Chain A
Amino acid sequence: MSESKNSSVPSTPRSEGAGKEITRRDFLNEITLGALGVAGLGSVAVTYQYFSPNVLFEPATTFWAGHPDLYPVHSVTFLQDQQVYIVRLPQGFFAVSAVCTHLGCVTQWKPDADQGQGQIQCPCHGSKFRDDGSKVEGPAPRPLPHFAISLTADGELLVDKLQNINPAQVLKV
């Protein structure tokens, strides 16, 4: 070790030697640190994977909402298990999320609010929405999203909560 140090010019800084003057000690230090770094990054990645569950026992994000005749025209129906409103207006069906866009509380449909027109209200911080999910007042930053709704071959309504659609789209039955 000391031999190799003495054989090189002692006064030359290592940077000027362009890496050629590397001693055995430096070399071993660097590969050890490099290996530890790789192992450390690997551990972080593997730990991150470990903490991200692959199988979840949560309610399904796609669900059947029953036959369209269950819902009268001009009605807002809250599906508690799915936290979705099925709204039926003369022009058709749409599905509105019942989860407030502010901080995730479950909103409630108040049929008598807003001079009898009905309103969706959040119990946590008082956000208000119309039956089409559009925002009346905050603190919610966005309107309630509309989920994709379709009719299956059996004539049942099918809602996909992972798919947001344009609120202008309605399902005509």
Chain B
Amino acid sequence: MATSFQSALQNIRETKVWKSIFRRGPANTNRTRSLAIFGNIFLHWLPVKVREKSLRVRASYYLGSISFLLFIVLFVTGILLMFYYHPAAPHAYRDMKDLQFVVSNGVFLRNLHRLAAHLMVFAVFWHMFHVFYRGGYKPPHEFNWVIGVVLLLVTLFLSYTGYLLPWDQLAFWAVTVGTNIISAMPVVGNKIRFLVLGGNIVGENALLRFYVLHVVILPLVAFLLIGIHFWRVQKDGGLTVKHKDEDGEE
């Protein structure tokens, strides 16, 4: 059974189409295994080799990967929720309620999106603390640390902009309070608040602006920065596991 499956796979690899896409032979040597990574756009920013120690649970608790996984969950569920949601004042609240009570599996998707968002904030903070206490901000990782801090802010902004979209009392007052914090900034505070809300009060313009930020601008920024973040982990020589190993604790 296994051999027939393997030979079938082998036959597919021999086809012209397969070869035109992957342009390499079977990954049976270190060189061809490296080429498999280099030649694939989705894998090319990942390291070709990793140290076994950096794969241990205690090296990272996989917190960055968990954050990324949650981001993917949010991306997929968010797109699905967009099929039923209108970012306009009479509709937004009703659409949210429809998702909970009328749409098949709507309550599952909405709660998945909501809980994954809460978890992502938690995971990203935990990731940051873990990296900090491991000294992961030290050279040569300074730049990636800064990217990570910006990603933390993007995560928080994504949470905050998403918070308004149900258009209920909680959302309204949270954004009223939050945007009044902006206006406490000297000189430009009120101007920035006006631009963020698209007016003087939390109204339809604010809802639409938060929606566009939430579903287009911030996810694009997040994807770009996540790409750089992953790529830099590899370029900076992988995870920081060295100190612990020298201590002989692991």
Contact = CB atoms under 8 A, between A and B. Distances in A.
A81 B195 CA distance: 24
A58 interface: yes
Contact of A124 (B173, B194, B199): B173
A113 interface: no
B205 to A, nearest CB: 6
B203 A57 contact: yes
Most B Cβ at <10 Å: residue of A48, A52, A103:
A103
Contacts of B180: 102-104
B177 interface: yes
Main DSSP-derived SS at the A contact region: loop
Given A53-B205, A58-B203, A105 B177 contact: yes
B177 A124 contact: yes
B204 interface: yes
A56 B199 contact: yes
A51 B205 CA distance: 10
Given A53-B198, A53-B199, A103 B177 contact: yes
A48 B191 CA distance: 10
Contacts of B194: 52
Contacts of A48: 195
A48 B195 CA distance: 8
Nearest to A141: B184
Given A58-B200, A58-B203, A103-B180, A52 B195 contact: yes
Contacts of A102: 180
Given A57-B204, A103-B181, A51 B198 contact: yes
Interface string A18-61: 00000000000000000000000000000010011100111100
Contact of B195 (A51, A56, A105): A51
Contacts of A58: 199-201, 203
A103 B176 contact: yes
Contacts of A56: 199-200, 205
Contacts of B179: 104
A167 to B, nearest CB: 22
5 closest cross-chain pairs (CB), A and B: A104-B180, A103-B177, A103-B180, A56-B199, A104-B176
Interface of B: 173, 176-177, 179-181, 194-195, 198-201, 203-205
Given A56-B199, A58-B201, A105-B177, 13 more contacts: A51-B198, A56-B200, A56-B205, A57-B204, A58-B199, A58-B200, A102-B180, A103-B176, A103-B180, A104-B177, A104-B179, A104-B180, A124-B173
